[in-house]
Homo-oligomer: A and B are copies of this chain.
């Protein structure tokens, strides 16, 4: 008789699955990428990948990279849902700022039950995106579509309805907020510097300048 015992999913495994999902959206992730992302040594990662394969969370051949199975992706998205709902709660109801949120959510995501998650979802009003526009996976594991055009790619005179700020970095998010650059706001491209990629933008009637890097992080939909 085959041992068909379903082992519990540990905190460590959950974090690996999420890391693989983040690092290898479509392609496959390398051991090193994951070691970097998780701040764990490469040998430890290598060993864990073997265990993840045994439990059918990933496709993995030594030396050839790793990607999630359907089962693995389901778990990754379930964790991501918890993470982003928790972040939303911390920011909107407990007065957290961007520097503190992620670290707290990184721990809490492993401790909350499905019941908690769905009650929190209701409490928050079933948000589709977190406060900086990251899509919150649904209970069924679907990712709500999110306009994704980088502001950096607009033509002069065009306006972007901001949907998302593609950064986890406290300083970046705080800085953008200080410029009123937030999801649902509208941002117009006024002028582009010939060299260096600096862009002049208008938001709320005021004009500012953004680096090319920042302009790449601002995503949304071009309007009229």
Contact = CB atoms under 8 A, between A and B. Distances in A.
Contacts of A104: 112-113, 115-116
Interface size range of chain A in the complex: 10 to 19
A175 interface: no
B96 A107 contact: no
A145 interface: no
A110 interface: yes
A111 B107 contact: yes
A94 interface: yes
Interface string A101-125: 0001001101111011001101100
A70 interface: no
A100 interface: yes
A215 B123 CA distance: 36
Contacts of A100: 115
Contacts of A116: 90, 94, 104, 108
A219 B176 CA distance: 54
A96 B111 contact: no
A95 interface: yes
A111 B113 contact: no
Interface of A: 90, 93-96, 100, 104, 107-108, 110-113, 115-116, 119-120, 122-123
19 contacts: A93-B123, A94-B116, A94-B119, A94-B120, A95-B119, A95-B122, A96-B119, A100-B115, A104-B112, A104-B113, A104-B115, A104-B116, A107-B111, A107-B112, A107-B113, A108-B108, A108-B116, A110-B111, A111-B111
